[in-house]
Amino acid sequence: MKKYSKLFVLIIVFFNLTSHTVYSNQNIDRYMQSGILIDKESSRVLYEKDSSKQVPIASLTKIMTLLIALEAIENNQVSENDIVNISNNSARLRGSTYNLKKGEQVELIELLKALMIVSGNDAAVAIAEHIAETEDNFVKLMNNKAREIGMHKTLFFNCHGLPIYNLNNPDDRIENLSSAKDLSILVKYLLDNYYEETLKITSIKDYSNPSRNFQRSNTNPLMDIFPEVDGLKTGYTGMAGYCLAFTAPVKATLQDEGDFRLIGITLGSSSQNERVLASKNLLEYGKNNFVKTKVLSKGEVVSTRYLFGSEYLSVNVVSEDEIWVIRSKNENINKEIKLSELSFPVRKGDLLGELVYTGENGDILGKTNLLSNTDIVWIPIKAQLDIVKRSILRLFSKQ
C-alpha cells in the first residue's frame, strides 16, 4: 500500500510540475496552514504565511534532538562511535521506529541516522538517555537551547514529537509546540554549525543496516522529486498535520550570480500529498524567483570626500567587505551611504561610515563598514592656501 501511495504522490507532482507555473500567494501556500522560506546565509525571509503562529510540530522535534546530540559530540561528552544500550523506555516507543529491542546495543551514529532518515522515535529516546541519562534531562537541554538561539514560540515536552496523552482523558494531550519562523531559526543554526555532519545523514535516500536486517527509505518526499534536496525532516500527528522542514542548494545560472541555499518549513498540511505540493510550491517559488548577485567588491571606491573641502585633500572611501544579496529577479535594490565628518589627520583604514543595501520592502540585504583608503597626515602648501581662500570666500558670502 505504501508503494502505491508514493506512486500516487509522484503522479500528482509530475502533472503539477509540467503545468505552467504562475504563482499567486494563494497558490504558494494553499496546502499549508503556516510556513516560511528563507535564504540560509542572510536569513532573508523570501515567503511566509502565519510564520509566528505557535502550532504542534510532531517529528520536526527531532531536528533539535539532532542538534543537542551533535553539540555533545563536538564537546567530547559522547562519541558517534559510542555503543548505546537500549532501555525499555526506548524499545517500547511506537509510531515510526528503528525496531529497537531492550538490551540491544547500537552505535550512536546509527541512531542519529535512524532519527533523521526514518524518524525513529525509539532512536530519539535512546540518544537522549545516552547523552543526558534521562529523557527529562535531555528535554531541559532542548528548551534551554531553544531560548538561547531565539526560538521564542517553542516548547518541548519530549525528544521525539509524539503526543503525550492523559490516561484519564484520551482527548487531553500535550504536544511539542513551535512556529515556522522558530523552526527556520533552528535549521539555520544547525546548518551554520554542523553543515557537513547534518547533510551527510539527511541526504541519504535509502538507509539499510544489514546487521539489524533493517532497510527503509528516507521519509523526506521532496528527495524523490528534486535531486538537489539534501534534507531535512518530516513530521505528522493528528493535531500537527503533515509537516516538513527542507533544505536545498540553488545553483547560479549566470556568470555574475552566486549559489545560495534555501530553508523551507511547511506546517499543517491535511495529507501526505498536500504536504508534497506545499513544499514543492515553496521550493519552486524560491528557485524561480530569487537570485544571488554581487553588488559590491571588497575595497571598491564608493565615494570621494574632501578634507576641509579642499580638492587637494581628497579621501577615497572604500568598502571593507564584498556584498552579495539575495533579491527577487525584478527587485530594485536601494543603497544608502552613511558618512561621518572627516577630521585631521586621516589614516588609511579609518572608519568613515557604513553602506547599507535594502530591498523594496525595507529588508536589509547587506551592509559593510566604509574605510579610508588614503593617508593625510600633513597638509601641503597648496592645500593650505586653498583652505584659506575658501574660508575668505565663505566669510564674504555671509556678508
CATH at residue 85: 3.40.710.10
Domain boundary residue among 290, 313, 336?
290
**Burial profile 336-355: b = 16 or more Cβ within 10 angstroms, e = fewer:** eeeeeebeeebeeebebbeb
Catalytic residue list contains 3: no
Q: Give the pLDDT confidence score for residue 196 in this predicted structure.
A: 98
Based on the domain organization, do 274 and 301 belong to the same domain?
no
Instruction: Tell me the C-alpha distance between 327 and 392, whole Å.
Output: 50
d(CA 229, CA 276): 13
pLDDT of residue 267: 99
Q: Of 34, 51, 59, 184, which one is the catalytic site residue?
A: 59
For residue 62, indicate whether it is catalytic: yes
- Which domain-ending residue is among 246, 262, 290? 290
- For 265-306, the pLDDT digits (tens) are 999 999 999 999 999 999 999 999 999 999 999 999 999 998
Same domain, 250 and 302: no
Q: What was the pLDDT predicted at 381? A: 73
H or E element at residue 229? none
Q: At what angle do helices 61-74 and 195-202 cross, to 10 degrees?
A: 130
195 shares a domain with 92? yes
From CA 380, how far away is CA 378, in angstroms rounded? 7
Catalytic residue from among 51, 119, 279, 372: 119
- Contact present, 65 and 127 (Cβ < 8 Å): yes
Which among 222, 145, 157 has a CA at the least distance from the CA of 185?
Answer: 145
200 marked as part of a ligand binding site: no
In a domain, residue 19? The reply is no
Total-model pTM: 0.87
Determine the Cα angle at 306 with ends 300 and 310, to 5°.
145
Residue 119 annotated among the catalytic residues of the structure? yes
3-state SS, residue 226: coil
**From 62, 145, 153, 181, active-site residue:** 62
Residue 385 lies in a domain: yes
List pLDDT tens digits, range 78-115.
999 999 999 999 999 999 999 999 999 999 999 999 99
CA distance 68 to 131: 9
Percent of all residues in the chain with a pLDDT value above 90, rounded to a whole number: 77
Residue 21's pLDDT band, with cuts at 50, 70 and 90, is very low
Interatomic CA distance for residues 76 and 71, integer angstroms: 9
Beta strands 260-269; 323-328: pairing state: unpaired
CATH number at residue 368: 2.60.410.10
